[in-house]
Structure 1
Amino acid sequence: MEMSRAGEARSKGESCTTWSALSSEGTASICSKSPQEIMALFGPHLTHREKLELAAMQEVWYFALYNKSEGCNNDGYDDQEQNYILFRHEHLRYRYEVLKKIGEGGQGQVIQCLDHKRNILVAIKILVSPSSSKHEIYQKMELQIALELQGEGSDEDFNVIKVLNIFHFRGHYCIVMELLKESLHEVIRNAGLRRLDMAMVKTYTRGILKFLRHINSRQIVHADIKPENVLVKDTVTGTVRITDFGTSFFVESQPMNVGGTLEYLAPELLLGYSLTCGVDMWALGCTVAELATGRELFRSNSHEDHLPRCIEILGMPPRYMVNGAPDRTQFFDHRGKMFCPGKKRVPGSFPLHKVLKSDDPEFVEFISSCLRVEPAQRPSSLLAQASKEKLKVVEEEETMVEELVEAELRQ
């Protein structure tokens, strides 16, 4: 994905002056120029805000001078959706050179940049400018969790994306991460009709489970496990890294509104229950099914249609779950009959093994075990037993994947 046409024009026209002194080896370094020297060189072309930024900088590694942006927010730096307006080859915090956009969503944009201090390519997630104090709290939680999961060997041992730096620039929080080649979404798309080899599917599954086991021990819910958020570190070994903590939260401080992607949302979220790490297991089942089949497991038309679609494949959830759901009336009438907006969905009429098109009972059972619904709130007399059962399910799933992989390697 490229920058805007306006950005392209500015990067080539007279309205842009880029200055970067390179050493004889070609590595980026402008340590010989202090912020004060750059101020002296380009002072007449700087905005008041840029002058204040430079005055606060201790070092400058890369500098590109552009005319002021023409956005409608944040002194012209942001667009209507509070996204930072990017221009190719501009600087981020006088160190990172913007190269191209590689992803975007409701929470921000992901940019490929050159880190002129370390002379490496990195991925930087630029969050949208927070629209309220509550919005900023959510963003700070994302930063906190991203850092909480870092640690010596956390990338190698638990498949957490490596965070290299976090900074604040022109009203936006920015997360600098290692740059990886592709996501599992791209792997699925590139495989096309050939489908992925089941041995590689199992390898990817083990990698995601390793991550989920780690965050579960920290009482953290990722809340948006899906192929786009699983990045491939090594295409040969199938090593993965999990990224994007924009909807993640600590179980003990669950936000009022939890995000996520429709096709991977667990029923307990739709029904208004408090959430546990079980929603990540549900999303894992959806992700693994997609890896194996090449298509989304629950293709829903809307939020209102998603739960009926899940029930069409898995059958009705437990009666206590329907009766006790805080948002029960959005999906069921007073008799417990399911609303079906648009297409009529008959519970259990399209069973899981048919959707998966698989005759492998172990594979179908694995996906089924991931898709077991277990809300956090249920009758107190059953709560202790439910916790034990859920823990047993997670342990059995991890053992099952390991056994499947070992069996595959022996073949």
Structure 2
Amino acid sequence: METSQAGARRREGVSGNTWSALSAAGTGPIRSKSPRAILDLFGPHLSHRQKLELAAMEQVWFFTVDDSNDDGYDDENDNYMHVRKEQLHYRYEVQKLIGKGSQGLVLQCLDHKTKTLVAVKMMSLPLCPSTASRQMTELEVTKELQGKASDDLYGVIRVLDTFQFRGHNCLVVELLKKSLYDVMSKGSISRICVRRLREYTRTILHFLLYAKRRGIVHGDIKPDNILLTADGKVRIIDFGCSCYLKSHSQTVGGTLPYMSPELPLGYQVTCAVDMWALGCTVAEMATGKDLFDSSTYGEHLPCCVEILGMPPTKMVDEAPNGSLYFDPEGLPYNLSQQRPPGSLSLQRALQGHHPQLVDFVSRCLHPRQR
């Protein structure tokens, strides 16, 4: 199907005719208008979709018109093609893209109701049952973890709003500028100082205990998903790989260098996968480098074996997917002659850090007894 000219402009991030109805009406700094007032003022300029959207709204805080004509809102990956200064949910004004991944994108927006800057995560279109289910779980988990002072006590990102816009599930959270990854990769130093490392680790542990009490596995602990407030407090974000323990999930999620071997081996997800990821994250904070520098599932297990030695025989023998990664003798298929099991000690991989740190990381990476 050919994309309309309006859709093509949206694809390029350009709006053909976008303007604020509130300012155009000469009303000045009005905080809100009723949907009926907007329809009366600009009905002839609105697409059928916009008219339906407005009719379903109780209040309009921000309004723009574009000439997309109900066509071309999403790209080939089912992500929303945002346009600067356009409206989302007739309340949020898009300012810029601040993040993009396989599950959607994150936009910095101005909330015209509260007059504050926020981050809006727009998930990809849920076109299949598995995607729809995953997104519903993400929204449920994020809301479940909200509580009195859960942000300051347990490092949970503060959720401000949820809504659906043009088929996309959207999550509005507090806007934070830097992640631990940003601090390490873009700052003057690649490692986190010991004092900060302890503070960050303590908060992440508090978060994981809080999540465990609610039967939740985060599933993707890593420096990118640990944000910092202006005064240096930790906030955990991105629950796109999260699940409930009661679901007995066997889905392989998360990010490979931080992934517990239990997941590719086919074991059910438990809170142990978050502890493994925490160990990898602490190691990266201490050294500025990935502990397990793997880019494929086939490479990941040999990377782990090189530092930690062979996993327990029972763990390999009982793994549902064990034959995909281990030969009949129980050795990883991609085992390199230059990287035999246990040839790189954890202490050396951690660049000679304090024995207490090495011991902590070692305990995080200890395989479950089965």
Give the TM-score normalised by the residue count of structure 1. 0.83
Separation in structure 2 between the aligned mates of residue 109 and residue 150 of structure 1, nearest angstrom: 22
Are 1:216 and 1:277, in contact at CA under 8 Å, matched by a contact in 2? yes
Secondary structure of 2:263 counterpart: helix
Superposition pairs of residues 209-248 of structure 1, within 5 angstroms: 209-235=205-231, 238-248=232-242
Partner in structure 2 of residue 270 of structure 1: 264
Partner in structure 1 of residue 121 of structure 2: 125
Secondary structure of 2:204 counterpart: helix
Are 1:268 and 1:374, in contact at CA under 8 Å, matched by a contact in 2? no
Query: Which amino acid counterpart does residue 20 of structure 1 have in structure 2?
Result: L
Which of 303, 306, 313 matches 1:312? 306
Superposition pairs of residues 323-334 of structure 1, within 5 angstroms: 323-334=317-328
Partner in structure 2 of residue 16 of structure 1: 18
State the 1:234 CA deviation: 3.6
How many residue pairs match? The answer is 360
State the 1:297 CA deviation: 0.9
Which of 142, 165, 170 matches 2:166? 170
Are 2:119 and 2:174, in contact at CA under 8 Å, matched by a contact in 1? yes
Partner in structure 2 of residue 381 of structure 1: none
Are 2:302 and 2:336, in contact at CA under 8 Å, matched by a contact in 1? no
> Given the alignment of the two structures, is residue 257 of structure 1 paired with residue 251 of structure 2, yes or no?
yes
Secondary structure of 2:105 counterpart: strand
Secondary structure of 2:152 counterpart: helix
Which of 271, 282, 290 matches 1:288? 282
Partner in structure 1 of residue 105 of structure 2: 109
CA RMSD of aligned residues (A): 2.1
Partner in structure 1 of residue 43 of structure 2: 43
Deviations 1:326-377 (A, max 9, x none): 11111111111221177853111111111110241111111111111117xx
Query: Which amino acid counterpart does residue 17 of structure 1 have in structure 2?
Result: W
State the 1:269 CA deviation: 0.7
| 1:58 to 1:369, Cα distance in 2 relative to 1, 3 A | same
Separation in structure 2 between the aligned mates of residue 175 and residue 343 of structure 1, nearest angstrom: 48
Partner in structure 2 of residue 77 of structure 1: 73
Are 2:184 and 2:190, in contact at CA under 8 Å, matched by a contact in 1? no
State the 1:191 CA deviation: 3.5
State the 1:16 CA deviation: 2.1
Secondary structure of 2:187 counterpart: helix
Are 1:10 and 1:16, in contact at CA under 8 Å, matched by a contact in 2? no
| 1:259 to 1:209, Cα distance in 2 relative to 1, 3 A | same
State the 1:37 CA deviation: 1.8
Are 1:184 and 1:232, in contact at CA under 8 Å, matched by a contact in 2? yes
Query: Which amino acid counterpart does residue 264 of structure 2 have in structure 1?
Result: L
Partner in structure 2 of residue 59 of structure 1: 59
Query: Which amino acid counterpart does residue 14 of structure 2 have in structure 1?
Result: R
